[in-house]
Amino acid sequence: MKIISVINLKGGVAKTTTAVSLAELLAEGDRRRKRKGSRVLLFDNDKQGNTSRMFGVYNGEREAEACRIIKTGRITGNIRDTKEENLDIVPCNYFMELAELEIKADKEHAQHDRYKSALHEVSGQYDYCIIDNPPDLGMNVINAMVATHEIIIPVRLDAYSLDGLEELVEQINQIRALNPKARIGGVLITDFEKSDTSEAAERWLRTKSGCHVFQCKIRHSKKAKDATFYRQTPTHYSVRSGAAQDYKAFTEEYVQKFGHLAAEERR
C-alpha cells in the first residue's frame, strides 16, 4: 500500500478536493485506458471532517475513528465503508484536538509513529492510502508525515504572492524534514484561472522552484464550488465540469508517473 499525504500549510488551496478526487478516481479506474480500479483507503486527518462529510460518515457526537487510531496505534475496527466500490474511509472530527492533547501527555509511548504502525496492519488490503491533512503541523500531521511515502502539494496560485511561493518551497522542505524518506510526488496547481499574475506564478513554479509540478492543472469551475455546498465530490456532482475532467487527467498523469509501487510500498 502506498501512502500519499495531500498537504499544504495554507487553508483553502483544494487539499480536500484533491484528496477526495484522487481517491475516488483511483478507486474507480478508467475503462477507456483499461486501468482497473485500485483498492483505496481515504484517511481524513482534518478535525473539520470535510472529507468525512462528503462521504456521509461525519458524526460530531462521539470520538471519530482517526482519533482512536492516534490514541491506540491500531486501525482494526476504525475503517468505514463508503458507497463507492473499492473505497473505504477513516473519518475524523473535532475530537482530534482532545486526542492530540491526550497523546502529548503520554510520556511513556512514542507519539509520532502511531499512524505508521496502524496503517501497517492493513497494508495488504489496499493499494493506496490517501491522507487529507489540515493546514498545520499538529501531532496528527506529524503522524501522517512519518507514515507517508509520497507528498502531493495542491497550490491555488492566487493564494500566494510571488514571495509567498518562495515561502511555500521552504515549507515543503520543513514538512519533508519530518520524514526525509518521503518523496515529493509534486505540486498540483488547483482552482486555476488565467491571468497575467497566475501565469507568472505558474512559470516561476515550473522553472525556478526546484519542485516537480504536475503537467495537468485543475481549472476553476463553478460546479466544483457548488459541489462543496452539496457535500459532494466534483466528480460526483458534475462529471463534465472542467475541474472533474482535470482531476481525471491528473489522476491518469499520476498513475503513469507514480503508479508502479516500489517494493516497500507493496508491503
| Residue ranges binding Mg ion (CB under 5 A) | 15-16, 50
Residues 45-64 that bind ligand ADP (CB under 6 A): 50
Q: How far is the CB of 133 from Mg ion (least distance, A)?
A: 8
Using DSSP, state whether 128 is helix, strand or coil.
Answer: strand
The smaller minimum CB distance to Mg ion, of residues 82 and 190, is found at 190
Number of chain residues interacting with ligand ADP (CB under 6 A) = 17
Residues 158-197 that bind ligand ADP (CB under 6 A): 190-191
Is 17 a binding residue for ligand ADP by CB under 6 A? The answer is: yes
Q: How far is the CB of 257 from ligand ADP (least distance, A)?
A: 21
In whole angstroms, give the CA distance from residue 115 to residue 76: 12
13 binds, among Mg ion, ligand ADP, none (CB under 5 to 8 A by kind): ligand ADP
- Name 51's bridge partners: none
Question: Could you say which of 224, 233, 254, 255 contacts ligand ADP (CB under 6 A)?
Answer: 224
Q: In what order do the strands lie in the sheet with 40-44?
A: 80-81, 87-90, 40-44, 128-132, 2-6, 150-156, 183-190
In whole angstroms, give the CA distance from residue 125 to residue 120: 10
Continuous H helices in the chain? 15-28, 50-54, 65-72, 95-105, 114-121, 139-147, 162-177, 196-208, 222-229, 234-237, 242-258, 263-266
Is 216 a binding residue for ligand ADP by CB under 6 A? The answer is: no
- Name 3's bridge partners: 129
In whole angstroms, give the CA distance from residue 256 to residue 110: 37
Distance, C-alpha 164 to centroid of its chain: 22
The size of the chain, in residues, is 267
The span of 11-19, 116-124, 161-169, 202-210 binding ligand ADP (CB under 6 A) equals 11-19
Is 16 a binding residue for ligand ADP by CB under 6 A? The answer is: yes
The smaller minimum CB distance to ligand ADP, of residues 14 and 87, is found at 14
Question: Could you say which of 111, 117, 171, 228 contacts ligand ADP (CB under 6 A)?
Answer: 228
Q: How far is the CB of 162 from Mg ion (least distance, A)?
A: 25
Is 233 a binding residue for ligand ADP by CB under 6 A? The answer is: no
**Helix axis angle, 139-147 to 114-121, nearest 10°:** 50
140 binds, among ligand ADP, Mg ion, none (CB under 5 to 8 A by kind): none
Is 225 a binding residue for ligand ADP by CB under 6 A? The answer is: yes
Is 13 a binding residue for ligand ADP by CB under 6 A? The answer is: yes
The smaller minimum CB distance to Mg ion, of residues 50 and 143, is found at 50
In whole angstroms, give the CA distance from residue 132 to residue 251: 16
Give me the residues that bind ligand ADP (CB under 6 A), please. Answer: 11-17, 50, 190-191, 218, 220-221, 224-225, 228, 243
